[in-house]
A and B are shown apart, each in its own frame.
Chain A
Amino acid sequence: MPVLADILAQGQRVVGHRPWPRYQVTPEAWNQAASAIAAGRASLFGLWGDTGAAPMVNMAIIEESSGDIAVASLACPMRKFPSVGALHPPAIRLERAIHSLCGLEPVGAPDTRPWLDFGFWNVKHPLGECAPVAAAPGAYAFLPAEGAALHQIPVGPVHAGTIEPGHFRFTASGETVVRLEERLGYVHKGIESLMAGATIERAAQLAARASGDSTVAYGIAFAHAVEAALGIEAPARARYVRALMAELERLANHLGDIGAICNDAAFALMQAHCAVLREEVLRAAARSFGHRLMMDRVVPGGVAADLHADGPNVIRALLQDIRLRFPRLVELYDNTASLQDRTAAAGVVSVDLVRRFAASGYIGRASGRGFDARKTPGYAPYDRLDFTVPVLTEGDVDARIWIRVREVEQSLQLIEQILATLPGGPVATALEGGDGEGLGLAEGFRGDVLAWVRLDGLSVVRCHLRDPSWFQWPLLESAVEGNIVADFPLCNKSFNCSYSGHDL
């Protein structure tokens, strides 16, 4: 790690943190790391509090050119730490969440409003001292936008469609959005608090329900973290079966999204046909793995059940069907000028903003950031599979659709490769207790999911899950600016960020 090596070398390496190192650093080194990230020499990968015996904050950092990852930990005996958000805005919401959940205060933070905590929990700092307080919801101060012709439009938490709850506060000048501010946290379920002290088995069930649409990706990220902490590896067949499930999940979500985005531009025909293809993927998943969303199929140590005997045939038939019908839908999208009129140049996110936020998935790739955890740092079995990561630079709704289209094509041929090279052998390794720490990654359909875990025997002391949406939600505020209010659903659907994965 050339850039961060100097900074982190001043710290003390923590024993038993795998597979990437964790360093206990000084406040000076912490600030230097934050400055390096702000200068674009490395990317912020995660930021979370840990209030065990000794309260600390952890900052995961990735150097994208090399794929090197490290975690910097700063002890907070006074329950305070130097704000990263003051130097690097993408950290702001993460720090607000750390303050609300753990009670660790970012000193010098540009935004001190609570995040996730609306005052309804009856406790304060649930991951910290967890002190009981009377429920006292106060008014939330939205950021001001002033001007004679401006008006506000509050939207949510209950929306018009069948989607998750969140609040969007628009300030508009006529039809044009001047400012969008998101308020999230409605579906906060306290997952990290439920995981503390839980068995690995129960924690895996909770991780699988962080965001239902990415249940396989969360399963894999959590399993990677636990396996790293215990110093074990899942058998080869299990890793291939996981990848098979992950690619089916990606297919199903992308097909659903492509249809749903077009539907939000009032082009229902795409939605009708894409929804049929999505349903066929889910049915193939149910026949191959016994569950349409493949929930609870990935477990630490391997997979809960092997691919059913007729699974390969079912999935091959599915591939054939999609290959027959999907290209025509792509052609339909490409040749419908009235639809393109809505999607092209709508909801643009700049290449620079995506790089600063290290936004992943189709949002990153539509704006020039080709990061993919399957390639960098990479994990089995993708190192043995041949695939490309599509990248565009337009950054509009249209580009986010095209990235999904190309990823559908890549997933189809990945699944083919996996079926052709699926090794034999067992699908799970028994877990033996240990007391290490592990960091795990998985590339979900939405982007990279990060899981960090500290174990004591076969139970979880502390687990942190970081959804890709943390670095994507803020970009939606930027994408919508200057668009008309009526195009918000279209822009929002093209992002399709997770509320549940973010709120946790």
Chain B
Amino acid sequence: MRRTLFESLTRRPLTETPPTADNAALAELAASLDRAARQRLGRSLAIREVDAGSCNGCELEIHALNNAFYDLERFGLRFVASPRHADVLLVTGPVTRNMREALERTFNATPEPKWVVAVGRCAADGGVFAGSYAVVGGVDAVIPADLHIAGCPPTPLQLLQGLLALLAPRRDRVAPQP
């Protein structure tokens, strides 16, 4: 173990330079959140991930955000175990009828102010599962989503770009509404 730890001290870090926030995500946030809400988004956000019916592909890529290459925590974003500790709900999957109530309860258990990020194609509109008897549809069909990150599944880079929009410095943001 000592050898492994010492080597990590001398080796260059694997962590990549941060990407810039996704423009589409910035625009969507500017449109959906009022100025006061955006001011309250600080540089430290607690994320609660909720799988509302996904195939688990999105979960794999969300997991990857924690690896040394993407190292989500350096941005002040971290995953928490309870919705009661969360500022952001990261929701994946088409919302299944069997998960609808659990998603609503998780949303209700999250204290205000809170934001919902819908991750992946299915979370946008049900994706390939739209129209099934067992699927309600996208996340918006159940709780209001503030931001959508596209992809099937989105790559960790796409996830990072979308999430960074939540944290983007104010000068990068679209001009505040009067």
A118-B98 contact, Cβ under 8 Å, with A212-B57, A269-B1, A336-B1: yes
- A344 to B10: give the CA distance in the assembly, Å: 33
Do A293 and B54 touch (CB < 8 A)? no
- A484 to B168: give the CA distance in the assembly, Å: 44
Is A169 positioned at the interface, with any CB of B under 8 Å from its CB? no
Write out the residue numbers on chain B whose beta carbons fall within 8 Å of the beta carbon of A381: none
Which listed residue (A120, A194, A269) contacts B98, Cβ 8 A? A120
Which listed residue (B61, B100, B132) contacts A194, Cβ 8 A? B132
Do B55 and A212 touch (CB < 8 A)? yes
Write out the residue numbers on chain B whose beta carbons fall within 8 Å of the beta carbon of A209: 55, 57, 128-129
CB distance from B90 to the nearest CB of A (A): 9
A213-B56 contact, Cβ under 8 Å, with A186-B98, A186-B99: yes
A185-B98 contact, Cβ under 8 Å, with A164-B54, A269-B1, A295-B152: yes
- A256 to B96: give the CA distance in the assembly, Å: 27
Do A498 and B135 touch (CB < 8 A)? no
Do B66 and A276 touch (CB < 8 A)? no
A158-B59 contact, Cβ under 8 Å, with A126-B134, A164-B54, A275-B68: no
- A120 to B44: give the CA distance in the assembly, Å: 38
Chain B residues numbered 43-79 whose CB sits less than 8 Å from any CB in chain A = 49-64, 66-69, 79
Is B153 positioned at the interface, with any CB of A under 8 Å from its CB? yes
Q: Total interface residues on A, using CB and 8 Å?
A: 55
The DSSP consensus for interface residues of chain A is loop
- A282 to B134: give the CA distance in the assembly, Å: 31
Do A163 and B133 touch (CB < 8 A)? no
- A161 to B59: give the CA distance in the assembly, Å: 10
CB distance from B94 to the nearest CB of A (A): 6
Do B51 and A164 touch (CB < 8 A)? yes
| Interface size class, chain B | 35 or more
Residue of B nearest to A116 (CB): B98
CB distance from A408 to the nearest CB of B (A): 17
Residue of A nearest to B68 (CB): A276
Do A190 and B129 touch (CB < 8 A)? yes
Residue of A nearest to B67 (CB): A275
Write out the residue numbers on chain B whose beta carbons fall within 8 Å of the beta carbon of A162: 49, 51, 59, 62-63, 79
Residue of A nearest to B82 (CB): A160
Do A210 and B66 touch (CB < 8 A)? no
Chain A residues numbered 254-278 whose CB sits less than 8 Å from any CB in chain B = 256, 269, 272-273, 275-276, 278
Do B134 and A500 touch (CB < 8 A)? no
Do A187 and B99 touch (CB < 8 A)? yes
Do B81 and A160 touch (CB < 8 A)? yes
B147-174 toward A: CB 8 Å interface, digit per residue (1/0)? 0000011010000000000000000000
Do B93 and A187 touch (CB < 8 A)? yes
- A158 to B69: give the CA distance in the assembly, Å: 28
B84-95 toward A: CB 8 Å interface, digit per residue (1/0)? 000000000110
CB distance from A439 to the nearest CB of B (A): 23
Do B68 and A194 touch (CB < 8 A)? no
Is A43 positioned at the interface, with any CB of B under 8 Å from its CB? no
Residue of B nearest to A253 (CB): B60
Write out the residue numbers on chain A whose beta carbons fall within 8 Å of the beta carbon of B38: none
Do B96 and A186 touch (CB < 8 A)? yes
Which listed residue (B51, B60, B66, B128) contacts A293, Cβ 8 A? B60
Residue of B nearest to A161 (CB): B81
Residue of B nearest to A160 (CB): B81
Residues of B near any A CB (own CB < 8 A)? 1, 3-5, 14, 49-64, 66-69, 79, 81-83, 93-94, 96-102, 106, 128-129, 131-135, 152-153, 155
Kindly list the 3 A-B residue pairs having the minimum CB-CB distance in the complex, ordered from nearest. Answer: A212-B57, A160-B81, A190-B132
The contact sample of 5 A-B pairs, CB cut-off 8 A, is: A118-B97, A162-B63, A165-B102, A269-B1, A276-B69
